[in-house]
Amino acid sequence: MKLTDRIEVSSDVVAREVGNETMLLNLTTGTYFGLDAVGGRFWHLLDEGKSPLEARDALLEEYDVGAAQLEGDLEKLLAELAENGLVAAQ
């Protein structure tokens, strides 16, 4: 998946904060997926209806990270979220 893709957060996912992590549970498959602080923030932005690009822009403002590094990491994360049925392309 690319940051330019339109995505939809699955309605079968429950997210909870556990310490410094965001834990996602796919209610259909029973699979848990853990996110660190940055990944959790990305998830929450997507869940609020932000596009991946809008979420990236917010993270660039909030964290001291280079754009190329962040984009690569977020695209990898989007692919993992899709593989686990947590998001889907629209």
Instruction: Tell me what pLDDT residue 6 has.
Output: 93
Which pLDDT value is given to residue 8? Answer: 94
Q: Identify whether 2 is part of a domain.
A: no
What residue numbers bound the domain in which 15 lies?
Answer: 7-84
Residue 52 lies in a domain: yes
Q: Count CB atoms within 10 A of the CB of residue 8.
A: 11
pTM summary value? 0.92
Q: Is residue 70 part of a domain?
A: yes
- Beta-bridge mates of residue 13: 26
Residue 1 lies in a domain: no
Band the pLDDT of 1: cuts 50, 70, 90: confident
When divided into structural domains, the chain yields a total of: 1
- Look at residues 74, 86, 89 and name the one whose alpha carbon lies nearest to residue 41: 74
| CATH number, domain containing residue 61 | 1.10.10
Task: Report whether pLDDT(87) > 90.
Answer: yes
Percentage of the chain surpassing pLDDT 70? 100
